[in-house]
Structure 1
Amino acid sequence: MAPRSPSPPPNPGVASASADATPDHDSPPSADASTDDGRPPETTRRALLAAAGAVDVAALAGCVDFRRSTFGNEQVLPESEESAVGSGNRPGSWPMLQRDPGYAGAAPSARGPTGNAAVAWTFETDEDPYRGFLPLAVADGTLFAQSRHTLWAVDVADGAERWRFAPPSLGGSGGQFLRSAPAVGDGTVFVVGDVSLYAVDAGTGRAKWKYRTTSSFDDVLLAGNTAFFVCRSGADQSLVALDAETGLTRWRRPADGSAYPLAYGDGSVFGATWRGPDDAADGETGLWEVYAVDARTGEKRWSRRVTARAETWFPTMAVAGGRIYVGTGPLYALDAKDGTVRWSALDDADLTSASPVTDGETVYVDADEPTRIVALDAADGRRRWGERVSAGYALGHPSLVGDVLYVPLASHDAGPGGVVGFDTTTGAERFRFVPPWSRAHGTSPPVVVDGTLYLGVGRTVYALEGDR
């Protein structure tokens, strides 16, 4: 099948939006909100109407606190691992990295391509990604790709650009670094640009609101109609929960160190804090403290310290079936209710970039050295199969779709990059795609929607089809 070419980029019919395209409103007062020059903000009727939802678009600067019953929306959280994230996680979507807020990375009832891979279309961004790979999301017929300074919206039918969003640099030149992977819910795309969280209209590419902090941060966790992240406001590091529609604060709690929010499940937000030792050398061990907080209040429910290799950048998690699977060096399975260690495995493997994915019955994880994919029983950690990756090396964040595990590969001396699919029962290879060039590049976690696999390789998005 010949690739279909996308429509030419920006023209008068393509919206090119930036943060400044949205009119700013004065921020309602709060304990730590301030204007850009440090003066306390004034309360205006326009700001109060915007906060109450009477104005469709609001750019909110600073840390804003209002009583939820007066100005915000009632918090709605997923009741199960299969619950929707707004309107984005219904069938025919992959609205965030690892697909769901539990970061399980699985779509058990879906089907992806196997057999002969064919490129349906490609889309070229004009810059390298910030994260080392081009993160993707799909919702409501639109693919969202995020390069270093720009969020792109692309029609999944033909790869035509719909709009782009590029907030200007705070210093006045260039653009902001888009630091998080896009997350989509209820018609809004959430991205982190330098020190701000932006809510961007998924249909138009125009900013609805922004939440500005005083330091950069990398990730946002979207669960139901709440966005969770760790940021600095003034001198304090905080774990924050925002109303996803308005940008108003639901709650804010002091964050103990770099307390990354990594996954959501059963009413809790799970994260981890490094406990050192700070001077540990590569290959030595330290500790990560895994924690759970109540998603409605921010109150800590439990914490558990687990062994980690010092070179682990930060642990990755997947939540399913009442367990949290944490890759810190060994792979741990913790009880989601109280943090009890149910089992640990792969103590002899190098799991510094391990990204577990699971359907609740089997846990799949990549190990760096030697490069291999391992399938473990989710109940007790027993090994079911292991498969060496014969070309390229596993980058992390595989995707489980039906009975195929799709693993992204990056180019390396061992071979070119791309994606390879393994049979979940036997480990046999069922799908492989290698792009037509092989210089060093990063590869995104695969996204599979309606039988098509979308992959970011370097600056390029590929839409891949094949047998099913």
Structure 2
Amino acid sequence: MYVSTRHRLVALDAADGTHQWEHDTDGAAGLKYVDGRLYHLHWGLQESELVARSPTGDEQWRATVPSQITGIHEQNGYVFVAGRDRYWTLHADTGQIVRERETWVRNMAAANGMLYVAFSGILASYEGEGRTLAERWRVQSRDPTESRHPTIAEELIYVSQYQPPADGGDVVVYDADGETQHRVELDYGSFAITVAENGPIVAPIATSNRELLAMRPDGSRRWTAGVSGAAGAIVADGTVYAGYPLTAMDAESGERLWEQDATGTARFAAADSTLYASTADNHIVALRE
């Protein structure tokens, strides 16, 4: 298990939490793990650094791009690094920049060999062809709007949108060809999406005083739950985890299964029947049945 803080990158044994290794860092950072390689992103407004490490923490390479990194994607031996208004192609084994292209690929998500990006009310689909991202289709939302990261499940693509400075937002559901299937309008604009087996879960931010909303794939409401918290929500093994106190709910019915006090959960992850939560007092908590 890898944890990035403002000052450290730490590896913990996922089974018992024992310390494996750590590296000092400087400033805000993000992580992404792809097929045995850990990517450590150091964000900056003018330039950003991407460091590739082995699972044991050894540095394999590092590269700097003259922009704020908004996402990375690895495919077929190349790493596509998205900036604010362009992307760079890096060789996955060396970090050498082999191509720069002025194409917007912000808010990236990948599934089934395809890369989906969402920005400014646009959803676009790309396929990696060597060192190039080849656009397959592009659709535009009906209104000028801002977009967040797409969420992909069961051959459907969910994109959350909002229209600043208005309070409202919506969830647009597309099929794999970019055809709009449904649009669900919400009276709040700040939220995150995770997906259960039977449809998306919309989690509003803690300060919005809204309910957690579970929807069917057709956009109709299945259930709501009055939970709040900064960590959004996560779905694992048919259970939704969200809120403060930490609340477990049946993903199909919304029935509350249990609650547990925590010191302000900030982020969730789940793997191998274990729920991991980072807390506001800088702890990692692992929960198992």
- State the TM-score bracket (shorter-chain normalisation): 0.7 to 0.9
Aligned to 1:223: 34
2:176 matches 1:384: no
Contact in 1 for aligned 2:159/2:171 (Cα 8 Å): yes
Contact in 1 for aligned 2:29/2:42 (Cα 8 Å): no
Contact in 1 for aligned 2:86/2:100 (Cα 8 Å): yes
- Provide the C-alpha distance between the structure 2 equivalents of 1:466 and 1:406, rounded to a whole number of angstroms: 9
Aligned to 1:372: 170
Aligned to 1:138: none
1:340 shift after superposition = 2.3
Aligned to 1:363: 157
2:221 matches 1:429: yes
- Provide the C-alpha distance between the structure 1 equivalents of 2:247 and 2:212, rounded to a whole number of angstroms: 11
Pick closer, same or farther for the CA change 1:202–1:347 going to 2, 3 Å: same
- Provide the C-alpha distance between the structure 1 equivalents of 2:79 and 2:245, rounded to a whole number of angstroms: 33
- Provide the C-alpha distance between the structure 2 equivalents of 1:460 and 1:206, rounded to a whole number of angstroms: 26
Pick closer, same or farther for the CA change 1:248–1:260 going to 2, 3 Å: farther
The secondary structure found in structure 1 opposite 2:231 is coil
The secondary structure found in structure 2 opposite 1:336 is strand
Aligned ranges 1:77-88 → 2 under 5 Å: none
- Provide the C-alpha distance between the structure 2 equivalents of 1:251 and 1:301, rounded to a whole number of angstroms: 15
Structure whose residues are more often strand by fraction? 2
Contact in 2 for aligned 1:376/1:385 (Cα 8 Å): yes
- Provide the C-alpha distance between the structure 2 equivalents of 1:253 and 1:445, rounded to a whole number of angstroms: 32
What is the count of residue pairs matched by the alignment? 243
Contact in 2 for aligned 1:334/1:340 (Cα 8 Å): yes
- Provide the C-alpha distance between the structure 1 equivalents of 2:211 and 2:128, rounded to a whole number of angstroms: 34
Aligned to 1:56: none
Aligned ranges 1:234-253 → 2 under 5 Å: 238-244=49-55, 246-253=56-63
Cα RMSD over matched residues?
A: 2.8
Aligned to 2:268: none
- Provide the C-alpha distance between the structure 2 equivalents of 1:445 and 1:350, rounded to a whole number of angstroms: 26
Q: Which amino acid aligns with 2:191?
A: L
Pick closer, same or farther for the CA change 1:264–1:453 going to 2, 3 Å: farther
State the structure with bigger RCO (CA 8 A, min sep 6), 1 or 2. 1
Aligned to 1:417: 210
Q: Which amino acid aligns with 1:216?
A: G
Q: Which amino acid aligns with 1:205?
A: G
1:466 shift after superposition = 5.6
Pick closer, same or farther for the CA change 1:350–1:219 going to 2, 3 Å: farther
1:218 shift after superposition = 2.1
1:363 shift after superposition = 1.3
- Provide the C-alpha distance between the structure 2 equivalents of 1:205 and 1:354, rounded to a whole number of angstroms: 32
Aligned to 1:134: none
Aligned to 2:285: none
Offset from partner CA, 1:148-191 (integer Å, 9 cap, x none): xxxxxxxxxxxxxxxxxxxxxxxxxxxxxxxxxxxxxxxxx211
Report the TM-score when normalising by structure 2.
0.72
- Provide the C-alpha distance between the structure 2 equivalents of 1:227 and 1:349, rounded to a whole number of angstroms: 38
The secondary structure found in structure 2 opposite 1:202 is coil
Deviates more, 1:335-344 or 1:256-265: 256-265
1:388 shift after superposition = 1.2
* Structure 1 gap ranges (5+): 1-188, 275-287, 309-314, 436-440
- Provide the C-alpha distance between the structure 1 equivalents of 2:245 and 2:144, rounded to a whole number of angstroms: 30
2:114 matches 1:323: yes
The secondary structure found in structure 2 opposite 1:375 is strand
2:199 matches 1:408: no
Aligned to 2:125: 333
Q: Which amino acid aligns with 1:346?
A: Q
- Provide the C-alpha distance between the structure 2 equivalents of 1:375 and 1:321, rounded to a whole number of angstroms: 18
Aligned ranges 1:1-12 → 2 under 5 Å: none
Aligned ranges 1:246-261 → 2 under 5 Å: 246-261=56-71
Contact in 1 for aligned 2:202/2:213 (Cα 8 Å): yes
